[in-house]
Amino acid sequence: MYEDIEQILFSEEDISRATEDIALRINDDYKGLSPVIIGVLKGSFIFLADLVRKLDIDFTVDFIKASSYGGNTKSSGEVKITSNISSDIENKDVILVEDIIDTGYTLSYITEYLKGFSPHSLRICTLFDKPDRRVVPIKVDYAGILTEDLFIVGCGLDYNEKYRGMPYAGVPKTQFQKIKE
């Protein structure tokens, strides 16, 4: 089904273990609290679903959507909110959930935007992080898997809307060719 994947970088087990580790930390850090868990659409939906099923605290879920790469694989630095949260986060503990942090443009924009609603706290959680690619500094509170500068797909991450349902994470052949050039 995924024969156009050049290389699998992270197995289902790697991803499940990383998700479990983050869930344990969140269960610990938010004991007795009820955070609002905000997923950044679309990429975070699978990680968020996996993560919340491992939580044993009270929480609510919301989503926010920001424009990012479109069909391209390089960030433009131009971010805008295209779909907003529907809950009131004033004085709430917010956990923002991303699929991957690359340059940091998207999350720094969303973070500043959400701070405008005066949450009590705001932490950042991501399944994948490419720290070497960062342009805008970002404090990542919960990072699942650190990865190098390769364009990866699977577990919610797409290339032209493809591969989101792939249960492991890997590099599509098209991207691998580009890297070798």
Catalytic residues: 102
Among Mg ion, ligand IMP, none, the one that 152 touches (CB under a kind-dependent 5 to 8 A) is ligand IMP
Please list every residue from 12 through 51 that binds Mg ion, using CB under 5 A. Answer: 43
- HSE (CB half, 13 Å, CA atoms) of 147? 24
Size of the site for ligand IMP (CB under 6 A): 18
Of the candidates 9, 85, 97, 103, which one interacts with ligand IMP according to CB under 6 A?
103
**Region label for 98, one of left (φ > 0), alpha (ψ between -120 and 50) or beta (otherwise):** beta
Q: Does 45 bind ligand IMP (CB under 6 A)?
A: no
* Rounded (10°) angle between helices 12-29 and 45-52: 60
Nearer Cβ to Mg ion, position 24 or 146? 146
Alpha helix stretches (DSSP H) within the chain: 12-29, 45-52, 105-115, 173-180
- Residue number with CB closer to Mg ion (30 or 153): 153
Q: Which stretch binds ligand IMP (CB under 6 A): 2-10, 23-31, 80-88, 101-109?
A: 101-109
Place of tokens 């349902």: 165
**What's the closest the beta carbon of residue 92 comes to ligand IMP, in angstroms?**
23
Phi-psi region of 102 (alpha: psi -120 to 50; beta: other; left: phi over 0): alpha
Examine residue 47 and tell whether it contacts ligand IMP (CB under 6 A): no
Tell me if 100 contacts ligand IMP by CB under 6 A. Answer: yes
Dist. CA 78–CA 93, nearest whole Å: 27
